[in-house]
Amino acid sequence: FSKEKALAIRKLLEAQKYMLYAFTSCGWFFADIGGLEAVQNLAYAVRALQLGTSGEIRQQLLQGLIAGLEQARGNVAGVTGKTILERQLLPFCAHEKILAFTAAIEKTIGFTKSDKLRLFSYDVSLRRLSAIESGLLSYHSFDAAVENEMTGELSRWAVLVSHRERAEVRGWVVAADAFGGKLPGGLEPETMMHHSASQSLTLMDIFQTSRENMADYIHQNIFKDTYARYSAWMDKNEQELDFLSRLNFPLPLYCLAPLSFVYHQQWNSLVRRLEHRGDEEEIAARLRDLSAMRKQYKISFDIKESAALLERSIIIELSALAVKLSAGTCRRIEHLMNIVDRFGIPVPKHKMEDAFAPIAAGPISGLYAEVIRLSAGGDESELVDKRALLKALVNFAHRMNFNTDAFRIP
């Protein structure tokens, strides 16, 4: 049983899977072919067609599908199944070409350092062919091999990326077969641009997820640079800023914006450190200092991220307490709750109480019964340890606003 035959069977099975997906019930439930659900079903159908057929047969079936969809009219004027397919779905049928272009872009802008990338379910291997710099203009060409081990899809592309400072990134992609399968190392930009099989692409042609990942990468680079520059500016003007604030005049926006940005990032960075045990008191002290600076400069913080991080940390610790009763865990939760209360961070108390209620009713009640049993006669050293733990837990229950009359320590 050859590998080629196995891949062919697997590819047909994948096609069958997507054909079944195309009949997902939600796509037929809503009375608009332009709805998200129906469009998704059409995407599944196109993928099934792509995997299950090839060449002239694929084109014939596709044209038949388009003709049938023209009769399906959407609720918006001018929208039919045909227009949806042609405008929203068919451009992405050239997905291997788009993935080759995406990989070349990521390599060019430094998003990745590796020559091997994983994009969705595809492995893309890059080999640099040329890099030409001409003033503000640069050209980078690559030999890109795209492979999907699940479906057996395999293709090679010549990709040229052009980038000019303060101008749009553009690319040209040509199937390697158009060069006879051989891609020369010194491939000239003009050869790629003017090749009869060349397709020009821009950043708007790549998949949404890839655009989002690139945007996040660029945002992070800008963030690091902005933070470094603003921090240096604050250090340089620290005395003047402090003097201005004490004159009790509002700071101008060009002063408030850097201060707000830097202090806000420092605040969130400290709160993120609270996700790990240790240094709670030091972090609380630094948060107090930042809070004082915020008041001095009349800066407002968006503390939604702080609230989410602290809520998650407290719930995680309560989950750990449910598994193993620990005075240390109680102290950590109290530290976190003190920070919530001290700075007015909007963490919903009812969620913490809901998480603690079964602990009080279960493990703590069990410990209390054990202490009562040992008090009636048992190992004194064991009783001392368990009584100390129970006392810590009862005090913690008070902190959680729970009634502890049922846990009177003998």
Over range 225-237, report the average pLDDT: 95
pLDDT at 356 > cutoff 70? yes
Q: Could you give the CA distance from residue 220 to residue 234 in angstroms, rounded to a whole number?
A: 21
In sequence order, the 6+-apart residues with CB closer than 8 A to the CB of 376 are: none
Q: Could you give the CA distance from residue 219 to residue 105 in angstroms, rounded to a whole number?
A: 16
315 close to 263: Cβ distance less than 8 angstroms: no
pLDDT given for residue 207 in this prediction: 92
**Where are the alpha helices (H) located in 127-276, listed in sequence order?**
189-193, 208-236, 238-246, 253-273
Q: Could you give the CA distance from residue 310 to residue 317 in angstroms, rounded to a whole number?
A: 11
Torsion angles phi and psi, residue 181, rounded to 5: 85, -10
Q: Could you give the CA distance from residue 260 to residue 290 in angstroms, rounded to a whole number?
A: 11
Q: Mean pLDDT, the chain, as a whole number?
A: 90
Over range 222-239, report the average pLDDT: 94
Alpha carbon 152 to its chain's center: 29
Confidence of residue 307 (pLDDT cuts 50, 70, 90): very high
Sign of CA dihedral 205, 209, 210, 212: positive
Confidence of residue 166 (pLDDT cuts 50, 70, 90): low
According to DSSP, residue 204 is labeled G
Q: Which residue has the higher pLDDT, 313 or 183?
A: 313
Question: What's the one-letter identity of residue 85?
Answer: L
314 close to 353: Cβ distance less than 8 angstroms: no
Count of beta carbons in the 10 Å neighbourhood of residue 224: 10
Beta strands in 111-219 (DSSP E): 116-119, 122-134, 137-148, 153-164, 170-175, 199-202
Count of beta carbons in the 10 Å neighbourhood of residue 81: 21
Give the rounded percent of residues in the chain with a pLDDT score beyond 90: 65
115 close to 142: Cβ distance less than 8 angstroms: no
How big is the chain by its Cα radius of gyration, in Å?
A: 31
Q: Could you give the CA distance from residue 358 to residue 318 in angstroms, rounded to a whole number?
A: 10
List the 122-134 sheet strands across, edge first. Answer: 116-119, 122-134, 137-148, 153-164, 170-175, 199-202
pTM of the predicted structure, to 2 decimals: 0.73
Look up residue 196 and give its two tokens. 């009869």
pLDDT per residue as tens digits for the range 363-385: 999 999 988 888 887 677 788 88
pLDDT at 112 > cutoff 90? no
Residue with tokens 């606003």: 401
